[in-house]
Amino acid sequence: MKRKAFEKLVAEAFDAIPEKFRPLAKNVAVVVENEPSEALRQQEGLGHHETLLGYYHGIPHTARGSEYGVGETYPDVITIFQRPIEEAANGDAVRIRAEIRETIWHEFAHHFGLDEGDIEMRERGQK
């Protein structure tokens, strides 16, 4: 899939975040990269056949104290990795769209303060 088409799907997925959560999604940049860097793969302890579909880097909304935003404050960054998402979807456009939406939700859940365990429980409908 061409990068522009992929980025359009990422923008659509961001727009699908429920309106009530949008005010909490301030100071967050969403970027697309081809795949995780070797440094990120090592940082996350990924094996040879493991990868990431997305990655959240920042200070979760729930951990921001009263000093957050005073002075120079860099945005949190959500990175969506195109190649792993396309591979997970076997190149199918409908599945790519679904993978992007799920990945955006997952990474914004981290931004909203949920850890992997919380997210997995919510995805399974257990919480």
Q: What is the CATH number of the domain that holds 80?
A: 3.30.2010.20
- pLDDT given for residue 68 in this prediction: 67
Total domains, the chain: 1
Which residue positions in the chain have pLDDT lower than 50?
none
Residue 66 within any structural domain of the chain: no
- Looking at residue 42, its pLDDT comes to 95
- Write the CB contacts of 70 (distance below 8 Å, at least 6 apart in sequence): none
Percent of the chain with pLDDT over 70: 87
- Determine, yes or no, domain membership for 40: yes
Given this model, what pLDDT does residue 108 score? 87
Instruction: Give the pLDDT score at 13.
Output: 93
- Chain-centroid distance of CA 118 in Å reads 15
pTM of the entire structure?
0.85
Q: Which structural domain range is residue 36 located in?
A: 3-61+75-123
